[in-house]
């Protein structure tokens, strides 16, 4: 076992034109969420890649990623059995024809852990807090809806995956409570980096890294006002989820909620 | 000189990965690219034009593409003594085989959607690097399960997750190539033996019948003892076995082989 990851630090590299990035360092601590924003082709994925590979000045961008203020050994970077980083990509499709419960136990096994029915229950319970349509342990993986798949995957990454750093690349977020999803990830003490332009996700962060022409150009601390705006959008999203469930159940909807609950 | 062999089933993303690797290496190393395929390919031309490196196309035709690769490797090496790195992409049909050599680096490009890794033979189990492709199509959890399953059948491999579209992961492959050993010996050794291919069907028999296979096999064996087995190409065929098949099919005359002609004259 290596020591626990408490913090990662990004040291500047170069942009597409070979110019040095204008920041001293970016520190991201355990339990923090950071958004990465910028136009297509600006270098968002490269930044995720640098973090995923714990780049040591050897990637295109020449950035250096420190873990707990230290350079990272080659052994740790390329160790095949351990992955420090879990990445949630855009697609969350499943291929295995198996029940949710058995799938989770398979994943536990792949992670070198023992069968743990309590943990499996917890994963499903937390997934159900993110999605409107409840997932049952016996549900077949292939029959999950898009929202259910995403919810299950987020809960799985938070609870089963041992990776302390989670990279999320433009996650499809229809059918899930986004704020709740982030909360679950952060509660488990993960470092979360997310490429997104969704107001709920981008404002439900500690800071935003702005990327342009292959380089980091600005770091914005998320303001209280922005957090409020994000919360408002999340409320709208959840309200829409609620109505969606009513439609699914064949109910009539004859009232509209106009006011969002204030931030807790 | 280094010999890097990419193997993997068709559509696993070998060529896409190879392109990214060539792009990164071409300015600092003298490269040569050999593309093996069964029937047809244009990848050699494409790569030569885009990356301005010498390439060759090798079409196996009637031969098992992996056997053919092994037959051709010495020629490729001999003709490219001045190169730093020879990249060879196999046709990648068979899970049973892999023409990896002890002296070079073997890279298996493995499609994450292709089922349980336990069904693969030497193509996976003998590889130094397993490049898992198309991971973006499935969930994080399934990717992790897949990785664990690969490590069950090949404990020593370096696992790399690659994306042929974006080139993600090619840095790790390049790292492995750079740290791989140079070829020092004249003779290379296959990591795993090829499957036995010594029946009448190998000599072109099509009738599914024991006696017919036996007849064709004996007829083939008789010619096999006459040909030099040098694959010299003087008969007009690229290998002795193809020539034998053509003779048995009535499409060629034994005299076309100068060695047989010589032997028949002596008699």
**Per-domain boundaries in chain A:** 7-91+166-248
| B137 → chain A, closest CA residue | A91
Q: What are the residues whose beta carbons fall under 8 Å from the beta carbon of B206, sequence distance 6 or more?
A: none
Q: Give dist(CA B251, CA B253) in Å, integer.
A: 7
Write out pLDDT tens, residues A89-133.
Answer: 766 778 888 999 999 999 988 887 788 889 999 999 999 999 878
pLDDT for the residue numbered A261: 67
**Structural domain includes residue B188:** no
Residues B98 and B214 in one domain: no
pLDDT-based confidence at residue A81 (cuts at 50, 70, 90): low
ipTM topping 0.85: no
Q: β-pairing, A165-169 with A85-88? A: parallel
pLDDT for the residue numbered A110: 84
Q: β-pairing, A33-37 with A191-195? A: parallel
Residues B141 and B208 in one domain: no
Contact A161 B148 (CB under 8 A): no
Local mean pLDDT, 10-residue blocks, chain B (267 residues): 94 93 95 93 94 95 84 91 95 79 95 90 94 88 89 92 85 91 88 78 83 89 90 89 90 92 81
Residue A84 has pLDDT above 80, yes or no: no
**Structural domain includes residue B163:** yes
**Structural domain includes residue B259:** yes
Using CB atoms within 10 Å of the CB of residue A116, give its burial: 0 to 12 exposed, 13 to 18 middle, 19+ buried.
middle
Find, among A9, A13, A55, A39, the residue nearest to A211 by Cα: A39
Helix orientation angle between A117-130 and A100-110, rounded to the nearest 10 degrees = 120
From B106's Cα to the closest Cα of chain A, the distance in A is 17
Write out pLDDT tens, residues B44-96.
Answer: 999 999 999 999 999 988 888 888 888 889 889 999 999 999 999 998 777 77
Write out pLDDT tens, residues A144-174.
Answer: 988 899 899 989 988 888 788 888 887 776 7
From B57's Cα to the closest Cα of chain A, the distance in A is 32
Residues B108 and B77 in one domain: yes
Residues B243 and B138 in one domain: no
From B33's Cα to the closest Cα of chain A, the distance in A is 24
> Looking at the partner chain, which of A45, A88, A94 has a beta carbon nearest the beta carbon of B166?
A45
Residues B225 and B166 in one domain: no
Percent with pLDDT over 90 in chain A: 42
Structural domain that includes position B159: 2-178
Partners of residue A97 in chain B, C-beta under 8 Å: none
pLDDT for the residue numbered A9: 96
Q: Establish if A87 touches chain B: CB-CB under 8 angstroms.
A: yes
From B175's Cα to the closest Cα of chain A, the distance in A is 10
Residues B11 and B117 in one domain: yes
**Structural domain includes residue B50:** yes
Write out pLDDT tens, residues A204-238.
Answer: 999 999 999 999 999 999 999 999 999 899 888 88
pLDDT for the residue numbered A1: 40
Q: Which residues pair with B85 in a beta bridge?
A: B2, B31
Q: Which of B178, B211, B229 is the last residue of a domain?
A: B178
| B152 → chain A, closest CA residue | A110
Contact B5, B26 (CB under 8 A): no
Give me the CATH number covering residue B240: 1.10.15.40
Q: Which of B178, B208, B226 is the last residue of a domain?
A: B178
Residues B41 and B99 in one domain: yes
Partners of residue A87 in chain B, C-beta under 8 Å: 140
**Structural domain includes residue B184:** no
pLDDT for the residue numbered B93: 74
Residues B57 and B108 in one domain: yes
From B157's Cα to the closest Cα of chain A, the distance in A is 8
Partners of residue A157 in chain B, C-beta under 8 Å: 140-141
pLDDT for the residue numbered B35: 95
Domain A7-91+166-248 CATH superfamily: P-loop containing nucleotide triphosphate hydrolases (3.40.50.300)
**Structural domain includes residue B173:** yes
Q: Establish if B214 touches chain A: CB-CB under 8 angstroms.
A: no
Residues B159 and B236 in one domain: no
Residues B164 and B209 in one domain: no
pLDDT for the residue numbered A99: 94
pLDDT for the residue numbered B177: 96
Give me the CATH number covering residue B7: 3.40.50.300
Partners of residue A109 in chain B, C-beta under 8 Å: 148
Q: Which of B178, B208, B239 is the last residue of a domain?
A: B178
Residues B171 and B51 in one domain: yes
CB < 8 Å from A in window 81-100 of B: none
**Structural domain includes residue B151:** yes
Residues B236 and B135 in one domain: no
pLDDT for the residue numbered A263: 54
Query: Could you tell me the pTM of the whole model?
Result: 0.79
Q: What are the residues whose beta carbons fall under 8 Å from the beta carbon of A215, sequence distance 6 or more?
A: A13, A14, A15, A16, A19, A21, A43, A61
Contact A100, A138 (CB under 8 A): yes
**Structural domain includes residue B8:** yes
Write out pLDDT tens, residues A26-41.
Answer: 999 998 999 999 998 8
Q: Establish if A76 touches chain B: CB-CB under 8 angstroms.
A: no
Q: Establish if A106 touches chain B: CB-CB under 8 angstroms.
A: yes
pLDDT-based confidence at residue A187 (cuts at 50, 70, 90): confident
């Amino acid at each position: 076992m290596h020591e626990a990851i408490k913090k990662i630090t990004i040291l500047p590299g170069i942009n597409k034109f070979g110019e040095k990035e204008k920041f001293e360092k970016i520190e991201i601590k355990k339990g923090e969420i950071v958004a990465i924003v910028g136009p297509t082709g600006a270098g968002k994925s490269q930044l995720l890649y640098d973090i995923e590979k714990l780049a040591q000045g050897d990637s295109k961008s020449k950035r250096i990623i420190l873990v707990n203020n230290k350079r990272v050994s080659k052994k740790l970077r390329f160790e095949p059995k351990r992955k420090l980083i879990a990445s949630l990509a855009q697609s969350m499709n499943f291929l295995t024809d198996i029940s949710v419960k058995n799938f989770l136990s398979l994943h536990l096994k792949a992670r070198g852990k023992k069968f743990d029915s309590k943990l499996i229950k917890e994963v499903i319970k937390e997934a159900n807090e993110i999605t409107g349509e409840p997932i049952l342990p016996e549900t077949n993986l292939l029959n999950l809806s898009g929202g259910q798949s995403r919810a299950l995957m987020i809960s799985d990454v938070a609870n089963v995956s041992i990776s302390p750093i989670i990279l999320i690349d433009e996650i499809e977020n229809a059918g899930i409570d986004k704020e709740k999803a982030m909360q679950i990830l952060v509660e488990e003490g993960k470092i979360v980096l997310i490429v997104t332009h969704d107001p709920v996700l981008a404002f439900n962060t500690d800071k935003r890294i702005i990327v342009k022409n292959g380089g980091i150009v600005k770091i914005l601390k998320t303001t209280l006002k922005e957090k409020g705006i994000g919360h408002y959008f999340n409320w709208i999203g959840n309200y829409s989820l609620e109505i969606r469930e009513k439609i699914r159940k064949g109910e009539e909807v004859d009232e509209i909620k106009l006011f969002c609950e204030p931030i807790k | 000189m280094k010999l890097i062999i990419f193997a993997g089933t068709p559509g696993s993303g070998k060529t896409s990965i190879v392109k990214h690797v060539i792009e990164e290496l071409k300015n600092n190393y003298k490269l040569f690219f050999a593309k093996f395929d069964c029937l047809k390919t244009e990848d050699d031309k494409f790569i030569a034009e885009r990356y301005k490196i010498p390439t060759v196309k090798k079409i196996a035709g009637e031969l098992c593409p992996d056997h053919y690769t092994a037959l051709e490797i010495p020629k490729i090496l001999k003709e490219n003594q001045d190169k730093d790195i020879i990249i060879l992409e196999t046709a990648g049909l068979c899970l049973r085989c892999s023409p990896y050599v002890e002296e070079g680096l073997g890279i298996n490009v493995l499609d994450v959607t292709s089922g349980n890794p336990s069904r693969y033979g030497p193509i996976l189990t003998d590889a130094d690097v397993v490049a898992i492709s198309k991971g973006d199509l499935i969930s994080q959890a399934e990717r992790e399960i897949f990785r664990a399953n690969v490590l069950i059948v090949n404990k020593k491999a370096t696992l790399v997750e690659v994306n042929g579209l974006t080139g993600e992961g090619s840095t790790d492959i390049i790292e492995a190539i750079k740290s791989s050993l140079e070829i020092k010996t004249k003779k290379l050794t296959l990591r795993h033996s090829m499957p036995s291919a010594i029946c009448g069907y190998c000599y072109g028999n099509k009738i599914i019948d024991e006696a017919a296979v036996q007849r064709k096999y004996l007829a083939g064996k008789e010619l096999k003892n006459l040909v030099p087995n040098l694959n010299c190409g003087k008969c007009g065929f690229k290998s002795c076995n193809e020539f034998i098949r053509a003779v048995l099919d009535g499409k060629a005359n034994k005299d076309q082989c100068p060695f047989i002609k010589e032997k028949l004259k002596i008699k």
